[in-house]
Chain A
């Protein structure tokens, strides 16, 4: 699953740690989501989308193999 978290983070001037703190997960988890090694739960995806005030589908996009 593709995501634009890194871009949105840069736009909002947030570090991985800042975002992690806002959504209540570890920095490791944010890093793994950004590098597509971990697919977040619906709850976490919605929390991240809320931080950036975007609909979740603008932040996450399904890929061919999903």
Chain B
């Protein structure tokens, strides 16, 4: 059950980072040269956020180490994705409770929730892979 072929090779990791950070650079550029006055900033932010999310997804599907790609790593990805979803549910629940009692009223969009899912998934996957690598070093 190998999934190496479905992963993006590590040498192409720059593509993911370009997708993540290019929108940020574009936004800074637009801000510096006051182009944002002529554009709908909300729509622009959503578009740039979506592009960054694509980059984060590509990063999740990148072969992080030479060992990455077999069934154990596939399980790591599954756990990471589930943890991402759970964290988002927890976030939405907490926000709902806060709003109910008027403690906090944060305006969050679908992009924020998806960003949170992706961020948590990436963190979880990274820590699983790091732990597996560390255990291997300790045993050898």
Contacts and interface: CB of A to CB of B under 8 A. Distances in A.
Question: Are A and B subunits of one complex?
Answer: yes
Interface of A: 16, 24-29, 31-32, 35, 37-38, 40-41, 43-44
8 contacts: A24-B2, A25-B70, A26-B66, A26-B68, A28-B135, A38-B75, A40-B71, A41-B71
Nearest to A15: B140
A24 B5 CA distance: 13
Interface in B51-78: 66-73, 75
A17 B92 CA distance: 45
A29 B132 CA distance: 8
B70 A32 contact: no
B135 A31 contact: yes
B1 A43 contact: yes
B106 interface: no
Nearest to B131: A37
A26 B66 CA distance: 8
A25 B72 contact: yes
B139 A35 contact: yes
A26 B70 contact: yes
A28 B133 contact: yes
B32 interface: no
Nearest to A37: B135
A37 B136 CA distance: 12
Contacts of A38: 72, 75
A25 B68 CA distance: 9
